[in-house]
Amino acid sequence: MPASARRPIIAANWKLHKTVAEAQQFVTDFLRLCPDTDTVEVVLAPPFTALAPLGERLRATALSLAAQDVFWIDEGAYTGEVSAPLLADVGCTYVIVGHSERRQYFGETDEAVGKKVEAVLRAGLRPIVCVGESLAQRQAGQTFAVVAQQVERGLAACTAASAAQVVIAYEPVWAIGTGVTATPAQAQEVHRHIRTLLARRWGEAVAEAVRIQYGGSVKPDNIAALMAEADIDGALVGGASLDAASFAAIVRRGGKGS
């Protein structure tokens, strides 16, 4: 499968931002600016509170809905948790799993990420599995090893069929919210490394099918150069996704060869 057969996927990770009204307004503004998103799959990841209303709203559009986290058990006495079947029920297609902020502030381990990935796939949803090294790890030359471990443990339970459903987001921690983007070449070498790992474990066809997003200070003025790299199949966008005009500009420039 040629690289171009992978449909680019650009996701807005709103983190802890936007009321329901603000989320609805964003959708109105974004669709006006970007009514046709055929070449790129667009995903919105609002806070939990906006998932159900946006799920209703997005049903008549080409936009997909993602949750920012999930618990790995489907139901039971787990106060405060939200499971994958409940996310499917309100219209989610994707779930972000293992974001570095969850690893850093909430103690999420690779093992927890693996259980969440399994739960998401079991519910018929698709995980966006986040991996990436810290600045200290990069400076110590550990980038490839750190990312390899995160991919292997995060996808530990995957078969070839379920691995093909996964989206991976390579997000170097030092580039998130800092304004410092990895250069296209820095990102590409890690994306290539991830694809090689996927091929070794699940075969060439799976490796060629899996989309690998880059994340970390993606903006309208750097998306095209990132997307020009062979193994960069999209972006996970934080800060620059909060404004509809900025996110629309990223989507418009986020196609392959655009």
What residue ranges bind ligand PGA (CB under 6 A)?
13, 171, 176-177, 215-218, 236-240
- Please return the burial class of 17, using the count of CB atoms within 10 Å of its CB with bins 0-12, 13-18 and 19+: middle
- Residues with catalytic roles: 99, 171
Judged by beta carbon, residue 238 or residue 255, the one nearer ligand PGA is 238
Judged by beta carbon, residue 162 or residue 252, the one nearer ligand PGA is 252
Q: Closest distance between ligand PGA and the C-beta of residue 239, in Å?
A: 3
Q: Closest distance between ligand PGA and the C-beta of residue 128, in Å?
A: 9
Decide the pairing of beta strands 126-131 and 211-215.
unpaired
Q: Closest distance between ligand PGA and the C-beta of residue 218, in Å?
A: 5
Distance CA 225, CA 125 (A): 30
End-to-end CA distance of the chain: 20
Q: Closest distance between ligand PGA and the C-beta of residue 108, in Å?
A: 14
Residue whose C-alpha is closest to residue 220's, from 206, 192, 239: 239
Judged by beta carbon, residue 35 or residue 177, the one nearer ligand PGA is 177
Distance CA 212, CA 191 (A): 7
Judged by beta carbon, residue 216 or residue 234, the one nearer ligand PGA is 216
Whether the Cβ atoms of residue 106 and residue 76 lie closer than 8 Å to each other? no
